[in-house]
A and B are shown apart, each in its own frame.
Chain A
Amino acid sequence: MLRYFALLVVAAQLPSEGAVDFNRDIRPLLSDRCFSCHGPDAASRNIKLRLDSEAGMTADLGGRRAVTPGSLEQSELIQRITTENKARRMPPVSSGLRLSPQEIELLKNWVKEGARWQTHWSWIRPERPLLPPVKNSAWPRNAIDFFVLHRLEREGLVPSPQADPYTLIRRVTLDLTGVPPTPEEVDAFVKDPSPAAYEKLVDRLLASPRYGERMAARWLDVARYADTNGYQTDAERVMWRWRDWVIDAFNRNMPFDQFTIEQLAGDLLPNPTLEQRIATGFNRNHRGNGEGGIIPEEYAVEYVADRVETMATAWLGLTAGCARCHSHKYDPISQKEYYQLFAFFNNINERGRYFKYGNTPPLVLAPTREQQELQKKAEAKLAAAEANFAALKPRLETLRRSWEQTLAAGAPSRYTIQQGLARHFDFEKPEAAGQGVSLQPGRFGLAAHFDGKGFLEAGKIREYGFYSRFTLSAWIRPTAADGAILTRAKDISEETGLGLYLKDGKLQLNLVQRWLDDAIRVETESAIPLQEWTHVAATYDGTRVADGVRLYVNGKPQPVKVLLDELNQDFRAPEPWRVGGGNGLRFQGWIDEVRIYDRNLPALEIEVLALDQTLEQVARVREEERSLAQREFLQFAFLETYGPEEIRQAWRQLVEARQQRDQLVASFPTVMVMEEMTPPRPAYFLHRGAYDRPGERVERGVPTSLHPWPAGAPKNRLGLAQWIVSPDNPLTARVIVNRFWQSYFGTGIVKTVEDFGSQGEWPSHPELLDWLAREFIESGWNVKAMQKLIVMSATYRQSAKASRALLERDPENRLLARGPRVRLPAETVRDQALAAAGLLVERIGGPSVKPYQPAGLWRELAGGNDYQQDRGEGLYRRSLYTFWKRTAPPPMMVNFDASSRETCVVRETRTNTPLQALNLMNDVTYLEAARKLAERMIREGGASAESRLQHGFRLVLARLPRARELEVLKDSLRFYLDHYQTHVEAAGKLLEQGDAPRPASLEASELAAYAAVASMILNLDEVVTKP
């Protein structure tokens, strides 16, 4: 039923003149009603007939042909769609599809007229058409207008007059920057008599940094950008550096081909810059699953599929996802070709199970420009400290040698490297003993002896987690092959926490969130001997993978076995450190010299810890015979403790400078990026798209029905990106300019912006689309120039007023006999209110912010921590910086039809609901904005109620209220003044909305009355609509 009516509309829009056009009239019918059985998918063609190619259409099938041009009788297709025999009639009843009498008539006419066949229009390279003739030659301002006017004249329609300047400046300012013009800007424009005034305005807007923010907002929808991982726990990720790259690219007017290449393959460019690598975050913005129990291989396939489908929708306007489980039913993309595209995107060393919290490798460290400056300073400071220290070197050597001389004679003394030492237990004092633990002669002095039941609690001195670096070190002399050496973990078997253990005599480090499936577990390949003093150590570098763990025995790095490498969240346990116990395990034997460091010590320093000598013993070894570790040992003791103050200070400064640099670097955001593996990971055809049903191996390639691979391009993502922006590509330029068009006119020239295939809609102005596509390519993919072209057109500048006759004729404004009038995008609705109220804080980029949101929304869904609303500036940043939690997105954005950011979305949808009304009336965001707008009305709007109301109206809508509107506003204000003067307490309450301070100088009932009127203004249909 729906389909039937939709077609009627299409039919109603057909030109009255002209013969049947295959691509416009016939292909959509064949595609929609016939292709699912007689189309490109060989598997579902259980009969030989193919209607998606000319050869198939006219093939001789045992003396019959589907189509014999010119002959209805000898065209089986016509016979079968008209026969009265229900069993033979097509489409079959069981398909639920049918052809209307008009459609059958169209097909008949087409056959009668010779059944001319054409390749689907969007597969044909667009050529720049000649400008069509128009009668009203005074109207067009640029090429766009010729095409629009030509069509209008054919339809017997005339364009609307140009919009008044107030409307025009508001429209173009909102469209190009996403915030409204100020009254000063409006005045300047309206009073400028120059014919170039509008162009000057447009140039100013295109040069504004707000332009990049506005353009980026739609690209974030395409790129499914979000601040969380999207599955189950849906914890935070950090991709805002990629988001800022997009804003910057638009503001610098990066050519769209370069914009494409850097996002798809920036890492494969020669000597890629940091920014080019950050750009590849585009293909990592998809959701990532860290849920316990998933099968990683299954999700690894989903991520790659998401990349393929996003690329196809974003650049090609193709529904490639249809070809994942079977060849495409409508378009010439085979299932094998789908997996050939897949092969470009699977060659990345990523885990199927993403980290539940944070970013999942591959990553780049992505400091902002400011951070890069800070880093330069920190490096310079470090270099200075190094130079300072180096200058002391000659003296240092001499002094150290003479110190060594004094040592050789002195009493023996132990030494422990101090740098980063968090805790050292030497068990020399009697209070160290406890239940089941006694002090006995040990490796050095006394040691703790454990009876297999007791353990020592060592306090909550340090809390190490996911991203921490640390070292655990001890001397042990075990008498049993299993036990806990040093832990910070729950004292229950197989529970959360970190710990160093003996298991079957092997040294094992465990970093556990959940024992079976959320932990890193690494052990030495060989066992250490019982009853012997052995030095053991483990380091972890905070990279969240088993590869970041090192185990040492007697100072030597050990070959290890990775038992589990599935850690995906923090492993902190709210427990004290324990020596000799933890995780339900107990140690039997002696433990001595337990050391915990806040850094992952390098192998040489571990060897120092494992030395069993005193400083004096080492000093007695001849210098040239000392091992590296022995030298390091003396060096540390001298620099940290025994050297002269001047040297110790230079060393301390060096260490501090290094720490400061390291801390700075550790604070840098990362971005998930694309990175190739060598050798490449093979890709396979997957039966029915299932991860566990691989078939033959496939090589990288693109659908053969499209333009050829560019000569000399590498067979990787870079080549693919070059293929996408090849001037021969029939799709990319059309798809992109069509989306630009959508953002100005509300609907694309091809309404199905996501589908340029044969199920997509026929363009309303095909020649215009081709002209724009060619223009875009030949301009060097100049994005700003294309925006300017559109907004400079007479078409765009028309008034949006619609007569009843025109509305009935063209309710969707596809013919463009009037200007666009569509509801503003979600983020503009909010940004506009903040700007008019003077609250908007404009700063480009940075971590996402958390403005007002009703309490409890996160906790209701997921438990745990609720949304932590920002204070201050975070409440008033532009909406594209609002923290986007995928499973609980900001309600204000969702109410106004923002895309979900789950997958690539290119279609802009607009609904009109009571929830939007409630949102604008009662959300603190808009009530606070109303209150601040009221302040501006009173302070800046002069002394009279009338001028104040006019000012408020103008701040939001750019224009002054008309006389009868002003009457309503005045009447309204009088009502509220009366009301709030008699309800002063209510006035006070109304003014409590939001964090912004309320000036004491303004009287409450008056301010509340203006606030109520201001709120009404912010609720006007005109306010949330592009004029």
Chain B
Amino acid sequence: MTERIVEISRRRLLRDVASGLGVAALANLLSADQGPGQPGLPHFAPRAKRVIYLFMSGGPSQIELFDYKPKLAEWRGTDLPDSVRMGQRLTGMTATQTKFPVVQSLFRFQQHGQSGAWVSELAPYTAKVVDKLTFIRSMHTEAINHDPAVTFFQTGFQLAGRPSIGSWLAYGLGSENQDLPAFVVMISATDGGDQPLYDRLWGSGFLPTRYQGVKFRSSGDPVLYLSNPEGMTAKVRRRFLDDLGKLNQMQFEEVGDPEIQTRIAQYEMAYRMQSSVPELTDLSREPESTFELYGPDSRKPGTFAANCLLARRLAERGVRFIQLFHRGWDHHNNLPEKIVKVCKETDQPAAALVQDLDQRGLLKDTLVVWGGEFGRTVYCQGKLTPEDYGRDHHPRCFTIWMAGGGLKPGLTYGTTDDYSYNIVENPVHVHDLHATILHLLGIDHTRLTYKFQGRYFRLTDVHGSVVRELLA
């Protein structure tokens, strides 16, 4: 018996058998891949039905982008005072550094929109949509290295093994689309040299594997093994499935295992995916204006821009959790040069996505999140020259933004000190962010649990509180 049948037995069988519905009919109730979610969920009326999470892997510098610190200009080159650092642990990369000269952003800041949010010249498109965004300048985390820090954001725990946030939502809320997975992941193509990603970041941990994220790829099959081999047309495949279904049905009649019915249904779902996924990824019917909005990269498969556009199309089709990863934010050296490049790749498409969702009336029930796994230090890593500097990892404060689904637009929340080193007001921990995201989806984060090894596990472990000030 598979997990699926176990679940039927637990949650439905007794109830439905009691009401006279047969086992064979039951299996047909569950034709969709990820099923209907858990009973009793959502816990209350959701503000958002789905999430698009734009993960900026590597750790974008808050100092260059959103956390304006004018005093740094006059302090340039001076050592970070011990009163600010307060013995904070450093990564092994700068722990042996003897000087910690602070350095200001090379990029100019300005206030934008009615909300007056500060955004640097690196993100002119984002600057235009600030009134739709909610900035959190007081994010903080516990990890100081990429692997544990990304894992922490994805699963609420620094070590691998727990379910990712998308898996929790697929498990809890199920799918709204019969033909697509509930949790889809897309990664911007890279020319190499960036921090690696890991399949486990969208894994299901101890949840059944059907809740894991399905990676949509920009080269080869968009979903692994999606395409029929050459020499087998869709028509032939249809015939194949009809015959296969007949044989499976005969076996069902022979042994009576409802699991066989589920398998027949899953083959049909696979067949539907063979047309729904290519239809989804086919951008040829998008009007010219779409490509103008998302920028020229959006025509190139595998770019962040193309993935943002796909994210909108997935959102339109009711996919629950859509996660984009974009690498290249790990600027230990040559920060000014590198950050310009990565902002060029991401600024316009991210802003376009918010605008596009808004125009289509989707932003009100879609939550968009933009952010990395940590921020960057105010002090310089490596050589400080007039044009060049680098910054190390900084977990104690950094900026993310969110938009849509039940948030207060135009709000900037949280304050850091003049060095953007410590939070002085309204800290938001990773667990708090998770709690807030779940809340917006109608989930009490303390009640979305899964029993494993004798314990009821949660995304937020035993922590986290909803940041109510962010809510509309």
Chain A residues in the interface with B (C-beta under 8 A): 1-3, 5-6, 8-9, 12, 96, 230-234, 287, 289, 291-296, 302, 313, 319, 321-322, 329-331, 353, 514, 516-517, 564, 566, 746-747, 752, 754-755, 757-760, 800-804, 807-808, 811-813, 821-823, 854-856, 859-864, 886-889, 891, 894-895, 897, 900, 902-903, 909-919, 921-924, 927, 962, 964-965, 968-969, 971-972, 975-976, 979, 983, 986-993, 1008, 1012, 1015-1016, 1019-1022, 1025
Contacts and interface: CB of A to CB of B under 8 A. Distances in A.
Contact of A918 (B264, B273, B446): B273
B199 A760 contact: no
Contacts of A900: 160-161, 200, 203
B256 interface: yes
A1019 B244 contact: yes
Given A234-B198, A861-B197, 15 more contacts: A5-B39, A12-B14, A291-B145, A295-B91, A322-B453, A322-B455, A811-B6, A811-B8, A887-B200, A914-B266, A918-B224, A918-B225, A921-B228, A964-B250, A1019-B267
Nearest to B233: A986
A754 B451 CA distance: 12
Given A921-B270, A1012-B232, A972 B10 contact: no
A913 B161 contact: no
Interface stretch (B188-196, B284-292, B307-315): B188-196
Contacts of A971: 243
B358 to A, nearest CB: 31
B269 interface: yes
Contacts of A909: 3, 208-209
B461 to A, nearest CB: 10
A990 B232 contact: yes
Contacts of B193: 863
Nearest to B4: A912
Nearest to A325: B462
27 contacts: A3-B451, A8-B14, A293-B92, A295-B89, A321-B453, A755-B454, A759-B453, A808-B13, A822-B2, A854-B221, A860-B217, A887-B197, A887-B200, A888-B199, A900-B160, A900-B161, A910-B2, A910-B3, A911-B3, A912-B259, A912-B262, A914-B267, A921-B240, A924-B229, A969-B243, A1015-B240, A1019-B244
Nearest to A8: B14
A962 B190 CA distance: 53
B2 A912 contact: yes
Contact of B9 (A811, A821, A891, A894): A811
Interface in B85-122: 89, 91-94, 96-97
Contact of A1012 (B38, B89, B236): B236
Contact of A760 (B144, B258, B454): B454
Contact of B38 (A2, A9, A230, A923): A2
A471 B49 CA distance: 66
A1015 B237 CA distance: 11
Interface of B: 1-6, 8-11, 13-14, 17, 22-24, 33, 38-40, 89, 91-94, 96-97, 144-147, 159-161, 187, 189-200, 203, 208-210, 212, 214, 217, 219-221, 223-233, 236-237, 239-240, 243-244, 246-248, 250-251, 254-260, 262-264, 266-267, 269-270, 273-274, 392-393, 446-447, 451, 453-455
B452 to A, nearest CB: 8
Contacts of A891: 224-225
Given A812-B5, A894-B209, A986 B220 contact: no
A989 to B, nearest CB: 4
Nearest to A858: B196
A888 B194 CA distance: 16
Contacts of B269: 914, 917
B147 A802 contact: no
Contact of B196 (A233, A823, A913): A233
A808 B255 CA distance: 14
A233 B197 CA distance: 9
A826 to B, nearest CB: 10
B257 A800 contact: yes
A319 B457 CA distance: 13
Given A911-B208, A915-B214, A918-B273, A5 B145 contact: no
Contact of A861 (B159, B187, B273): B187
Given A291-B147, A752-B454, A811 B229 contact: no
A903 B160 contact: yes
Contacts of B248: 1020-1022
Nearest to B393: A293
Contacts, number: 306
B220 A1021 contact: no
B219 A856 contact: yes
B197 to A, nearest CB: 5
A861 B231 contact: no
Contact of A1016 (B196, B220, B247): B247
B250 A965 contact: yes
Contacts of B258: 807
A234 B5 contact: no
Given A863-B190, A918-B273, A754 B259 contact: no
Contact of B161 (A889, A903, A1019): A903
Contacts of B212: 894
A711 to B, nearest CB: 32
A2 B11 contact: yes
Contact of A319 (B146, B228, B454): B454
Contact of A802 (B144, B160, B255, B263): B255
Nearest to A801: B255
B187 A860 contact: yes
A887 B229 contact: no
A853 B199 CA distance: 15
Nearest to A853: B224
Contact of B256 (A804, A895, A915): A804
B196 A962 contact: no
A328 to B, nearest CB: 9
A9 B9 contact: yes
B224 A911 contact: no
Given A754-B453, A922-B228, A5 B256 contact: no
B250 A962 contact: yes
B93 A292 contact: yes
Contact of B229 (A231, A321, A989): A989
A469 B262 CA distance: 60
Contacts of A313: 453
B225 A911 contact: no
Contacts of A990: 229-232
A803 B191 CA distance: 58
> Which has the most chain B C-beta neighbours within 10 Å: A231, A757, A895?
A231
B214 A822 contact: no
B23 A862 contact: no
A659 to B, nearest CB: 38
A225 to B, nearest CB: 15
B92 A296 contact: yes
A646 to B, nearest CB: 57
Contacts of A803: 256
Contacts of A1: 38-40
A848 B147 CA distance: 26
The 6 residue pairs across chains A and B that have the minimum distance between CB atoms: A759-B454, A990-B231, A863-B192, A293-B91, A862-B196, A989-B231
B6 A812 contact: yes
A228 to B, nearest CB: 11
Given A293-B393, A760-B454, A800 B255 contact: yes
A161 to B, nearest CB: 13
A927 B92 contact: no
A885 B89 CA distance: 31
Contacts of B191: 863
Nearest to A819: B255
> Which has the most chain B C-beta neighbours within 10 Å: A5, A321, A821, A927?
A5
Contacts of A987: 231
A6 B14 CA distance: 10
> Which has the most chain A C-beta neighbours within 10 Å: B10, B96, B258, B269?
B10
Contacts of A6: 10
